[in-house]
Amino acid sequence: MDPECPQNVPTSPAAALDAALGYALLRFTFGLNFLLHSYQRWLDLGKFVNGTVHQFTTTPLPEWSVRAFATAIPFIEPLLGALILTGLWTRSALVAGALFIAALTFGTALRNDYAVLSVQLLYALTFFLLLLTRGHNRFSVDAWLTTRGLQSSGSSSSPSTTALS
């Protein structure tokens, strides 16, 4: 099965448009969530980092690694959010986002915080669904670049991630 053309592609133009609109709205909303999620963290970055380090004092993770990761989070989230929201390098952004959520899930599991784990699993599921249905990514920067010949069809990846294409 061609991953760019799933077997469940809608057969009518209206159904194809609905699938593309549904995908665009989910991708846009999910990207917006990531983009704006770090806003409060930016208002007091030190408080966020120190609070995160404190949450991990009972885990086997060394403080320096928690501090470094917590410092990176407010930079990673808006970058991933902007890429997902606009549909630029969609595949790469979704894979990077899924790996980011996996890393967060690892730390959260070490803290035994099952309420947060359940939310992170919903994020992981959303990444899966967006990757699975990426063939409907019609309203995106990737699609716009492809129609203008600036990006190869189906390679919704950054130029440096052709292995993911």
Q: What is the total count of domains within the chain?
A: 1
pLDDT digits (tens, 9 = 90+) for 6-64: 556 667 999 999 999 999 999 999 999 999 998 889 999 999 999 999 999 999 999 99
Tallying the residues shown for the chain, one arrives at 165
CB 123 within 8 A of CB 117: no
Residue matched to tokens 């995160």: 52
Within a domain: 6: no
Mean residue pLDDT of the chain comes to 90
**What residues make up the domain containing 57?**
13-164
Within a domain: 129: yes
Within a domain: 4: no
Give the pLDDT band (50/70/90) at residue 152: confident
Model pLDDT, residue 63: 98
DSSP 135: G
8-12, 59-63, 109-113, 124-128: segment of lowest average pLDDT: 8-12
Report percent pLDDT > 70 for the chain.
86
CB 154 within 8 A of CB 165: yes
Within a domain: 40: yes
Within a domain: 62: yes
Residue matched to tokens 């309420």: 115
- Stretch 103-122: mean pLDDT, rounded? 98
Q: Is the dihedral of CA 106, 109, 110, 116 positive or negative?
A: positive
Within a domain: 97: yes
In terms of Cβ atoms closer than 10 Å to its own Cβ (0-12, 13-18, 19+), residue 60 is exposed
Model pLDDT, residue 11: 78
